[in-house]
Amino acid sequence: MKKINLLLAALIACCITAHAQQTATFKANHRVIETKQFNKQVNDMLTDIGIPGLSLAIINNDQVVFSNVYGSKTQLAGDQADPETIFEACSLSKSFLVFVAMQLADQQKLDLDKPLYEYLEYPLLQHDSRYKLITARMILSHSSGIENYKRENNAEVLELVAAPGTDFVYSSAGYVYLGNVIEVILKKSADTYLKELVYEPLQLHRTFSKYEKDGSYPQNYATGYTVFGKEIKKWKNDSVLVSGGIHTTAKDYATLITSIFNRKYLSDDRVKDITHGDIGLGDKGKLLYWGAGFGLQYAQGDTIIFQNGVQDGFRSWVYYSKKNKSGVAFFTNSSLGMSILKKLNELSVNLNIDPLLDDSDFEHYPDPALALLRIYRTGPVDNLFNKVAHTSNKELSFASLNNLALIIASDNKTVAKRLMEENRKRHPEKSEAYLELGKLDFRLKDYKSALANFTQCKLLNPGTTEVEGQIKECLKRLN
């Protein structure tokens, strides 16, 4: 028996080794990437920032040509992530429903432009007759007018915050409605139709809609961490949430993306639906749109589809070039995960995604603010201020130091105030320096200091209407 167990252990080890083996190079958008050097650069970046784990996949010529997992599932010693480790897909979960909806449209079971209430009346929206205008296309392009979550405005009512088909309003709640409609069309649960139409035909063996057996299945999952490295209790949804509850790997997800665009599963008409900009994204509307299922960037004769995802302790991204048939998908178990987007792109497919880089909750690596945050996390605080003092304005921009202070404010307002004061000292000509410091002073109930900062902000930039109300509030509390 002992020999048998040893043999089994050896076989398992061989399988894991074989699974982890990678070629010496891989191609990414007409570039040849040396795997060893690439892996080193990615590992160094994660260490520099303090991101525990990363699941990464790279697409070239509509094939997943590279995938790897870096770092750890948790911050416990030896808890290494591996190719089977699943991450929370966050809003990238919606892509699985997009794939299902487009298949049904090809089969003429779902009309993208037919009002959804004709398939399924929705009690949560019946209080507003405008909901009868909502179509599947509007849901997929986030132009239905449905708020993102019911709790955002009136916690008791799911609201339409814009007329259907008129404005971009990101809506996870809308995807839930569409998921319910598809259950009615197919007479199957979301769990069943996702397995039958997506996971099984695409052989996505490490993709799960929910946790089962009292949360004990699936195993081998990543745990999320805040920007300060604090562990977040693992969310294990025991029911299907099509808008954000799928758990997967980057390799599985990248396989889904290639299946959407390789014409093996969807028709040309469906790909056109996905890549047609139905609604503009605010003041970036000339460059960024949302089509039936994804965000769209039009630039230099190319269409780049994209989607990002945000949940507590997890960040995810996908972007894919229709012209070059290449892209990147990644999942991290850190709230700092967005900061790797720019560098990962430079190291791999090197697509023009500049308009997407603003959509980040922190600066992009290797911005010095990321290193400063890591110093703050490991302490002591004096080390942080010593480093700031020896970092020039050229290295550390106003925006970077301000963002650092805003993030630290959620953990230590006193430290944040010192950073903002340093930023004001460095940039006395910037009205924003006084505005942000005034806001923090107000939160600290130092109304006298807040009033002084708001007043100086107004002097430097008389057009800043935001401070008018702030000044009035300060005077009210001081009188």
- CATH number assigned to the domain comprising residue 94: 3.40.710.10
Q: Among 315, 330, 356, identify where a domain stops.
A: 356
Residues for the chain: how many in total? Answer: 479
Q: Which of 348, 313, 302 is nearest to 329 (CA)?
A: 348
Whose structure tokens read 């799928």?
246
Q: Which domain holds residue 218?
A: 90-356
Residue 70 inside a domain? The answer is no
- Phi and psi at residue 280, in whole multiples of 5°? -80, 150
Q: What is the pLDDT of residues 436-452, one digit of tens each?
A: 999 999 999 999 999 99
Q: Among 325, 356, 387, identify where a domain stops.
A: 356
Look at residue 284 in the predicted model and tell me its pLDDT: 56
Reading the block at residue 212, the tokens are 């089962």
Residue 229 inside a domain? The answer is yes
Are 285 and 388 within one domain? no
SS3 156: coil
Look at residue 360 in the predicted model and tell me its pLDDT: 55
Residue 464 inside a domain? The answer is yes
Q: Among 356, 377, 392, identify where a domain stops.
A: 356
Under 8 Å between Cβ of 91 and 78: no
Contacts of 92 (CB under 8 A, 6+ apart): 246, 253, 307, 308, 309, 316, 318, 329, 331
Are 109 and 158 within one domain? yes
Q: Are strands 295-299 and 247-248 parallel, antiparallel or unpaired?
A: unpaired
Look at residue 151 in the predicted model and tell me its pLDDT: 80
What span, in angstroms and rounded, lies between the C-alpha atoms of 255 and 306?
15
SS3 261: helix
Are 101 and 168 within one domain? yes
Are 332 and 410 within one domain? no
Look at residue 283 in the predicted model and tell me its pLDDT: 66
Are 372 and 293 within one domain? no
Low-confidence ranges of the chain (pLDDT < 50): 1-19
- CATH number assigned to the domain comprising residue 435: 1.25.40.10
21, exposed or middle or buried, with CB in 10 Å at 0-12, 13-18, 19+?
A: exposed
Are 324 and 383 within one domain? no
Under 8 Å between Cβ of 73 and 79: yes
Look at residue 64 in the predicted model and tell me its pLDDT: 98
Look at residue 359 in the predicted model and tell me its pLDDT: 55
CA–centroid distance for 133 within its chain: 29
Are 180 and 260 within one domain? yes
Indicate left, alpha or beta for 163 from its phi (over 0: left) and psi (-120 to 50: alpha). beta
User: In which element (H, E) is residue 20 found?
Assistant: helix 2-20
pTM for the model stands at: 0.91
> Is the N-terminal amide bond of 83 cis, ω within 30° of 0?
no
Q: How many domains is the chain partitioned into structurally? A: 2
